């Protein structure tokens, strides 16, 4: 996909003129990362945004004893770096490619120059930051106030609602069960037990990375209670 | 304090012209809340920002069985509502006054009209959202990857570094120990035991809401490990 066509399709560019889109595309630099490669580390300084063009990226923190918590799983067209690019500050987490990944780098100064002309792009950034803040607050709520089965049910419901495939009942996990455990804040063993329990109860069926919802009402109940 | 002078002092207005400051002040509406009063509830729709002018406000989520997690403790001059005001969305948490509190409401349409003229105010909003996102990510890290003594040490270090009083070693807790427990995700009993343990070890001394750091290196070590 060419860069301008890709940029036209993402939320950052919503409402932008053809001329602005062209300038944004001209300033963009693409870069390929292999699976497992670190894109940016905690405390790195950055001068712009990274947009996920193709592949899969996790944002995470790691404790001193190696335990990992995934903060955010980036979907195609989503960005990171907004918080560092516009302050004199540093990036607050780590970002790693989970498969071969293409990122677009957009220099902060290009965004500045477009914004002087039309503030539209700043509204799009505010919208994107707001969504990430809401997701982060939901994660705090989940880790602090919910048990593992509730967290898993909530994750499945949110993922299904964002599913771009035809069916909203069949979910192809975007990551391995090992990575999923790091997202909902548990061990792979506990996740595996919870998936089995929900299968035995007839709520879902699991086949590799494919999870099918069999009883949506029961899943809703589990997420709420 | 008059509204225009107050607005001039807060991060939202950084770099704004006198004319813009005047327009912002004219559109602002102030409202008093008593201690314990809900300012906004989860899923409420809002059409602007709330700025804390005087008092204390907590943003929180509550589980179905009444357990509470504080997401954010608002300091004077800080705002909330940015995430709801600029999307067609709803507020993602609850906000409650912890003492008699004065909030300023700034209509989203005023911000829009100023931004058409000069995008400066949108950068200030992006900066504010970024800070909240970073704090939220740090809270996820703390809840997921840190034990209670580590969380408490981290909280004390951050609070001391933001301390506006003369001494960086003496902290007057902005909230009761009961509320502090809800911030670091533990029970009042565990918090009390942890404070006692740190006192016995000579790291801090506690007198009511006043916590004095006696051994900064030990506190740093505790926060890191």
Q: How much of chain A exceeds pLDDT 90, in percent?
A: 59
**Pick the residue with more confidence: A168 or B5?**
B5
**Closest-CA residue of chain B to A147:** B63
Lowest mean pLDDT among A6-10, A16-20, B103-107, B126-130: B126-130
**Min Cα separation A79/chain B (Å):** 13
Q: Do B83 and A125 touch (CB under 8 A)?
A: no
| pLDDT recorded at residue B55 | 95
Show the beta-strand stretches assigned E in A116-179.
170-172
ipTM greater than 0.85: yes
**Closest-CA residue of chain A to B138:** A92
Mean of pLDDT values over A144-148:
90
| pLDDT recorded at residue A221 | 92
Q: Do A116 and B115 touch (CB under 8 A)?
A: no
| pLDDT recorded at residue B170 | 86
Beta-bridged to residue B32, according to DSSP, are B102
Mean of pLDDT values over A132-156:
90
For residue A87, what pLDDT band results from cuts at 50, 70 and 90?
A: low
For residue A84, what pLDDT band results from cuts at 50, 70 and 90?
A: low
Over the stretch B130-160, which tens digit does the pLDDT of each residue have? 888 888 998 999 898 899 999 999 889 888 8
Over the stretch A50-68, which tens digit does the pLDDT of each residue have? 999 999 999 999 988 888 9
Q: Do A87 and B130 touch (CB under 8 A)?
A: yes
Highest mean pLDDT pick, A156-160, B24-28, B176-180: B24-28
Q: How far apart are CA B16 and CA B22, in angstroms?
A: 10
Over the stretch A90-123, which tens digit does the pLDDT of each residue have? 788 999 999 999 999 999 899 999 999 999 999 9
Give the tokens for residue A212.
């099918």
Q: Do B86 and A225 touch (CB under 8 A)?
A: no
Average pLDDT, chain B: 90
Which chain A residues are closer than 8 Å to B64 by Cβ? 224-225
Q: Do A126 and B127 touch (CB under 8 A)?
A: no
Average pLDDT, chain A: 90
pLDDT surpassing 60 at residue B200: yes
The answer to whether B69 faces chain A, any CB pair under 8 Å, is: yes
Q: Does residue B70 contact residue A137 with C-beta atoms inside 8 Å?
A: no
**Closest-CA residue of chain A to B116:** A119
Give this prediction's pTM: 0.87
Q: Does residue B204 contact residue B169 with C-beta atoms inside 8 Å?
A: no
Q: How far apart are CA B74 and CA B76, in angstroms?
A: 7
Domains and CATH numbers, chain B: 3-133 (2.60.120.10), 146-224 (1.10.10.10)
| pLDDT recorded at residue A164 | 60
Nearest to A115 among B82, B93, B119 (CB): B119
Which chain B residues are closer than 8 Å to A87 by Cβ? 127, 130-131
DSSP string covering B122-163? HHHHHHHHHHHHHHHHHHHHHHHH--HHHHHHHHHHHHHHT-
Over the stretch A174-198, which tens digit does the pLDDT of each residue have? 888 999 999 999 999 999 999 999 9
Q: Do A87 and B127 touch (CB under 8 A)?
A: yes
Q: Do A134 and B64 touch (CB under 8 A)?
A: no
Q: How far apart are CA A25 and CA A12, in angstroms?
A: 12
pLDDT surpassing 90 at residue B66: no
**Min Cα separation B25/chain A (Å):** 22
A132-to-A6, A145, B124, B164, B196 alpha-carbon distances in Å: 21, 20, 18, 30, 37
Which chain A residues are closer than 8 Å to B128 by Cβ? none
For residue A165, what pLDDT band results from cuts at 50, 70 and 90?
A: low
For residue B208, what pLDDT band results from cuts at 50, 70 and 90?
A: confident
Q: Which of B51, B47, B48, B59 is nearest to B12 (CA)?
A: B51
Q: Does residue A96 contact residue A72 with C-beta atoms inside 8 Å?
A: no
Nearest to A119 among B61, B116, B133 (CB): B116
**Pick the residue with more confidence: B26 or A138?**
B26
């Amino acid at each position: 996909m060419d860069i301008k066509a890709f940029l036209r399709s993402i939320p950052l560019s919503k409402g932008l003129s053809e001329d602005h889109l062209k300038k944004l595309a001209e300033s963009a630099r693409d870069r390929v990362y292999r699976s497992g490669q670190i894109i940016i580390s905690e405390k790195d300084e950055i001068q712009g945004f990274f947009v996920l063009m193709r592949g899969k990226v996790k944002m995470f923190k790691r404790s001193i004893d190696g335990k990992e918590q995934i903060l955010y799983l980036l979907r195609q067209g989503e960005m990171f770096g907004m918080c560092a690019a516009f302050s004199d500050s540093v990036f607050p987490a780590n970002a790693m490619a989970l498969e071969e990944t293409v990122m677009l780098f957009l220099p902060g100064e290009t965004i500045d120059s477009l914004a002087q002309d039309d503030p539209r792009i700043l509204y799009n950034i505010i919208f994107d930051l707001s969504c990430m803040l809401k997701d982060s607050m939901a994660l705090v709520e989940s880790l602090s106030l919910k048990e593992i089965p509730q967290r898993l049910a909530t994750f499945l419901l949110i993922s299904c609602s964002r599913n771009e495939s035809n069916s909203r009942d069949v979910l192809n996990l975007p990551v391995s069960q090992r990575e999923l455990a790091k997202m909902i804040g548990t061990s792979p063993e506990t996740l595996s037990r919870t998936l089995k329990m929900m299968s035995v109860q007839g709520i879902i069926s699991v086949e590799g990375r494919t999870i099918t919802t069999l009883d949506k009402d029961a899943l809703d109940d589990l997420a709420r209670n």
